[in-house]
Chain A
C-alpha cells in the first residue's frame, strides 16, 4: 500500500469514528431505557480494571517517591516530596497511566465483546428484533467509560499517594507531618485535582469511542476481531498521549 493511501485510510477512519460518535450521542436518550444495562457496564468496566489500577497506582507512587526524593535531596528540598508527588500524580500520571491501563484492560474487552457480537450476527439479530444495538450495546459501554475513568484515576491517585507515603515516610524517614502539611498547603483542589479529573473524563470518552468503534466495525471473522482488539490498544494509547499534550497546554 502506498503512503498516500495509508494516510487516506487513517483519515477515513478518523472521519468514520467521528460520525460514529454522533450516532452514539444520538442513541444516548434511547439508551436511558436500558439504564440497568448501563449500570451493569459501569460496574463491569470498573470492577474489571480496579485491581490492576490499584496495584499499578501503588507501585507508581512508590517509585515516584524514590526518584523525586533523590532529586529533591540535591536541592535540600525533601520537605516538598508530598507536594511534588501529589502534583505529578493528580495533574499527569494519574489520568495518563490509568487511561493506558484502562485501554489495555477494559478497552480491549469492549472491542472483543462487540466484535464477537458482530461476527456471530448478534448485532443483526438485535436489529431484526427492532432493538437498536447502538442504544443497547454501544451507548451503555460509552457512558460506562466516561464515568468509570475519572473514578479509576482517583483510585490510582489515592494509592499512588499511599505508596509515596510508605516509601518517603516509613522507609526514607521523612517526617509524617511535613509530608502531609506541605502537600495540603500547596495542592489546589480546583486547579490541580479537578484539572486531572477533567482530563481523565476526556480520556475515558476517547478510549470508549475507539474501543466500541473498532468492535462495531470489525470484519466479521476471528482474525478481524483479533486485529480490532490490537488496534484499540495502539490507537487509544497514541490518541490519549496526543490529547494529553494538547489539553495540558490549554489547561495550564
Chain B
C-alpha cells in the first residue's frame, strides 16, 4: 500500500490524476455553525479512504457535498475530474449513476419489497429482461446473505438487515465510487464482519474507490488504506491507520486511544454551571 504521499505534515496531496475525489478550500456554514474552514483532501483511486471524526463534525455533510446533495459555501470539489458545484442537475444525475451511496439510515423505499428495492436502480435506468434483473438482484442479495429475504418488506427487517439490503442496492450498478455513511452502526459483530469483508472485497475485486465514513477505529483499521480525521472544521490528521494510531498528538490520542477529554470537548458548550443551578453569586 502506498502511503508515502500522505506522510504526516505533507501539505501537497497526490497529483489530480491519481485522486478520484479532490477537495480544495472547502468552506461550509450550516445552521450558523462553521463546519468546514478550508478543508483540502484527496480520495485516491482504487483505495478505501476512511473519513473519521466525532459525531456532529460534518462527515455526512462532507459526503453530501461530494455527491452534490448540498452546496458548500466555497471551495472546489472535483469528482472524477468534474467540478460538482458547477454541474447542472442533469449532469449531477449522470455523475450519480456512477456512485453507490449507502445512507446512514439505509433509506429503503418502504412501498417496495427487498427485491424491488435492490432492483429499483436497474429498472429506472436500464431496460433489461426480467430474467437478467432477477439474476443480478439475487446475486447481490446472496452476497449480503439476504437472498432468502427477497420477498420481505422493509418494515419486516431488522436495522442490520436493512443496512445490508441498502448495501446490495448501492452496489447494484457496479459504481466506480462507493460511499458508505456509517455502515457499522447498529450491526452485531457477525454482520459487522460480513459488511467489513464485503467492503474490502468489493474494493479489491472490482477496483472501485471507496469512501468509508465511520467512527469505529477498530473496524476502520482493518479496512481502510488511508484515514482522514476531521475535527474543529479542519483535517486534524491524515495517513495510514496504523501510522495514525502510533502518532502522538492530542487529537489522535483522544480519538484513537479513547481518552474521554482532549481537544474534542466531551461537554457541549454551556453557560456557567453554577449560574444554571441558580447560584448567581458564585458566577461573579
- Residues of A in contact with B (beta carbons under 8 Å apart): 116-117, 120-122, 124-132, 136
Contacts and interface: CB of A to CB of B under 8 A. Distances in A.
A120 B125 contact: no
A48 to B, nearest CB: 15
B69 interface: yes
Interface in B102-152: 103-105, 107-110, 120-121, 124-125
Given A129-B121, A129-B124, A120 B110 contact: yes
Contact of B109 (A125, A130, A132): A125
A80 to B, nearest CB: 51
Given A120-B107, A122-B107, A122-B110, A128 B101 contact: yes
A181 to B, nearest CB: 51
A132 B107 contact: no
A121 B110 CA distance: 11
A125 B110 CA distance: 12
B103 A129 contact: no
B94 interface: yes
A136 B111 CA distance: 13
Given A120-B105, A121-B105, A128 B69 contact: yes
Which 10 A/B pairs are nearest by Cβ-Cβ distance? A121-B107, A125-B107, A130-B93, A128-B101, A130-B96, A130-B97, A129-B121, A131-B124, A121-B103, A122-B107
B190 to A, nearest CB: 26
A127 B69 contact: yes
B49 interface: no
B69 A129 contact: no
B99 interface: yes
B67 interface: yes
Contacts of B99: 128
A128 B96 contact: yes
A129 B120 contact: yes
Contacts of A130: 93-94, 96-97, 121, 124-125
A124 B103 contact: yes
Contacts of B69: 124, 127-128
A116 B107 CA distance: 11
A125 B118 CA distance: 12
Contacts of B108: 122, 125
Contacts, number: 48
Contacts of A125: 101, 103, 107-109
20 contacts: A116-B110, A117-B110, A120-B105, A120-B107, A121-B103, A121-B105, A124-B103, A124-B107, A125-B101, A125-B107, A127-B69, A128-B69, A128-B103, A129-B120, A129-B121, A130-B93, A130-B94, A130-B124, A131-B124, A132-B89
B110 A129 contact: no
Contacts of A136: 124
B96 A129 contact: yes
A131 B94 CA distance: 10
A122 B111 CA distance: 10
Q: Which of A125, A126, A127, A132 has the most CB of B within 10 A?
A: A125
Given A120-B105, A121-B103, A121-B105, A127 B96 contact: yes
A125 B105 CA distance: 10
Q: Which of B89, B103, B107 has the most CB of A within 10 A?
A: B107
A132 B124 CA distance: 10
Contacts of B109: 122, 125-126
A128 B92 CA distance: 9
Nearest to A132: B93
A128 B109 CA distance: 13
B67 A128 contact: yes
Nearest to A121: B107
Nearest to A131: B124
B102 to A, nearest CB: 10
A125 B117 CA distance: 11
B58 to A, nearest CB: 17
Given A120-B110, A129-B121, A130-B124, 6 more contacts: A117-B110, A121-B104, A127-B96, A129-B169, A130-B125, A131-B121
A57 to B, nearest CB: 30
B75 to A, nearest CB: 21
A128 B99 CA distance: 8
A170 B133 CA distance: 61
A46 B92 CA distance: 36
B106 to A, nearest CB: 8
A122 B110 CA distance: 8
Contacts of A132: 89, 93
Contacts of A131: 120-121, 124
Contacts of B104: 121
A83 to B, nearest CB: 47
Q: Which of A117, A122, A127, A130 has the most CB of B within 10 A?
A: A130
A124 B67 CA distance: 11
Contacts of B93: 130, 132
Contacts of B121: 129-131
